[in-house]
């Protein structure tokens, strides 16, 4: 199955504004109404906004024993009452997205991406977790629809094309996030295997992060690079540029996800294990949405400053906003 990438919209700031809000509002109305019944439901007589949050300690370990009182929530800078709260460990829904553009030919990056995906599958629960597989260059392709059959997922890795062509990385992420959102559920994400190069996208990093954040689909990026290009490693060439770029890192973290750089199987294994751990255990926070229509920046804080938290960066308020 093939998907056409959408037209570019006008916002350039990191927080979605202007025509991007209109674009996101249309996306909410068309694509998310069918998805909502499968999302965690909090009821207090009004529509609720739900936010998934991941907490880690200073050693990088997932923290799973916090209470509602440990969290603070700010909507557009204003403190909000957390109406409902839960913490749970649950099956995950994830789309694996392979970069098959020409730049992945260099230094066997395509093969490294497939190995990393296989390592990711090793951490999943057979028969419980749901996975789909996509690939992209200038076009997004579905190689395997969502399934709990891990053997079918692994078999689809053999369909990943030889690297060729231009790279529409950001467009592919946005379109894949929509596919994940349509599945419903709370423990969900897009995991991208790429070298971080993008030379053909219509969407900017701000626009993609706004789309994914609005539909509450975290983006995780695993940038597979040559050891010569891996800044901070003994093999790195001094003048090499870091990958992923700062924009790609910001894109991932704005959605509540993260970005990693790997130049070895051991580094990939550590990264995919961390991703699965974060998706497996999450805090679900609910609050009443603001009354002003449009984009609302969100910030989740912890009272314990020794802990760190990641969550999506905002939501859309208004009729049929799909919050």
pLDDT along the chain (323 residues), means of 10: 40 42 42 41 60 94 95 96 93 96 87 96 96 95 97 95 89 95 92 91 90 92 77 61 67 92 92 95 93 92 96 81 48
Q: DSSP state, 157?
A: G
Give which of 262, 256, 283, 268 is closest to 87, Cα–Cα. 283
- The answer to whether 253 touches 259, Cβ cutoff 8 Å, is yes
Q: For tokens 């979605």, what's the residue?
A: 16
84-89, strands of its sheet edge to edge: 84-89, 281-287, 49-56, 308-311
In-domain check, residue 156: yes
Chain centroid offset of residue 26 CA: 21
For residue 172, what are the contacts with CB-CB under 8 A and spacing of at least 6? 5, 97, 99, 134, 136, 140, 192
> Can you give the pLDDT at residue 15?
45
In-domain check, residue 185: yes
**Bond preceding residue 121 cis, omega within 30 of 0:** no
Q: How far apart are CA 49 and CA 13, in angstroms?
A: 24
In-domain check, residue 300: no
| CATH number for the domain harbouring residue 253 | 3.40.50.410
How many domains does the chain fold into? 1
In-domain check, residue 238: yes
In-domain check, residue 192: yes
Q: For tokens 């529509």, what's the residue?
A: 47
Helix (H, G, I), strand (E, B) or coil at 221: strand
- The answer to whether 89 touches 118, Cβ cutoff 8 Å, is no
Tell me the residue range of the domain where 225 lies.
Answer: 93-280
pTM (predicted TM-score): 0.83
> Can you give the pLDDT at residue 215?
87
Q: How far apart are CA 262 and CA 221, in angstroms?
A: 10
In-domain check, residue 23: no
**Assigned token pair, 29:** 């109305």
78-80, strands of its sheet edge to edge: 78-80, 71-75, 294-302, 314-317
In-domain check, residue 191: yes
- The answer to whether 130 touches 154, Cβ cutoff 8 Å, is no
Q: How far apart are CA 117 and CA 104, in angstroms?
A: 15
- What's the count of helices (H) and strands (E) in the chain, helices before strands? 7, 15
Beta bridge partners of 93: 130, 188
- The answer to whether 52 touches 218, Cβ cutoff 8 Å, is yes
Question: Phi first, then psi: what are they for 246, rounded to 5°?
Answer: -60, -35
In-domain check, residue 111: yes
> Can you give the pLDDT at residue 228?
58
Helix (H, G, I), strand (E, B) or coil at 264: coil
**Assigned token pair, 55:** 């907490």
Q: How many CA atoms lie within 13 A of 90 on its CB side?
A: 16
Q: For tokens 């062509």, what's the residue?
A: 165
């Amino acid at each position: 199955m093939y998907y056409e990438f959408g037209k570019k919209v006008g916002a350039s700031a990191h927080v979605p504004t202007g025509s991007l809000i209109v674009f996101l509002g249309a996306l909410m109305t068309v694509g998310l109404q069918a998805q909502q019944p499968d999302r965690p439901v909090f009821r207090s007589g009004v529509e609720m906004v739900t936010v998934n949050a991941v907490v880690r300690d200073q050693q990088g370990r997932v923290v799973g024993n916090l209470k509602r009182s440990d969290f603070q929530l700010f909507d557009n800078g204003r403190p909000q009452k957390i109406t409902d709260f839960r913490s749970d460990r649950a099956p995950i829904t994830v789309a694996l997205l392979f970069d098959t553009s020409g730049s992945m030919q260099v230094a066997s990056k395509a093969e490294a991406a497939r190995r990393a995906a296989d390592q990711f599958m090793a951490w999943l629960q057979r028969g419980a977790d749901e996975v789909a597989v996509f690939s992209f260059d200038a076009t997004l392709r579905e190689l395997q629809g969502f399934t709990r059959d891990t053997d079918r997922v692994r078999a689809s890795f053999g369909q990943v094309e030889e690297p060729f062509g231009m790279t529409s990385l950001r467009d592919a992420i946005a379109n894949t996030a929509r596919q994940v959102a349509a599945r419903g559920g709370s423990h969900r994400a897009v995991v991208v295997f790429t070298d971080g190069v993008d030379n053909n996208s219509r969407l900017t990093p701000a626009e993609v992060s706004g789309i994914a954040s609005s539909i509450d689909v975290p983006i995780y990026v695993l940038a597979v690079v040559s050891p010569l290009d891996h800044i901070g490693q003994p093999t790195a060439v001094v003048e090499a540029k870091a990958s992923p770029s700062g924009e790609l890192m910001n894109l991932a973290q704005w959605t509540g996800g993260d970005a990693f750089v790997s130049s070895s199987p051991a580094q990939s294994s550590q990264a995919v294990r961390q991703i699965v751990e974060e998706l497996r255990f999450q805090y679900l926070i609910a609050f009443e949405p603001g009354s002003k229509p449009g984009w609302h920046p969100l910030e989740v804080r912890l009272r314990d400053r020794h802990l760190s938290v990641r969550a999506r960066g905002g939501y859309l308020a208004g009729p049929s906003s799909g919050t």
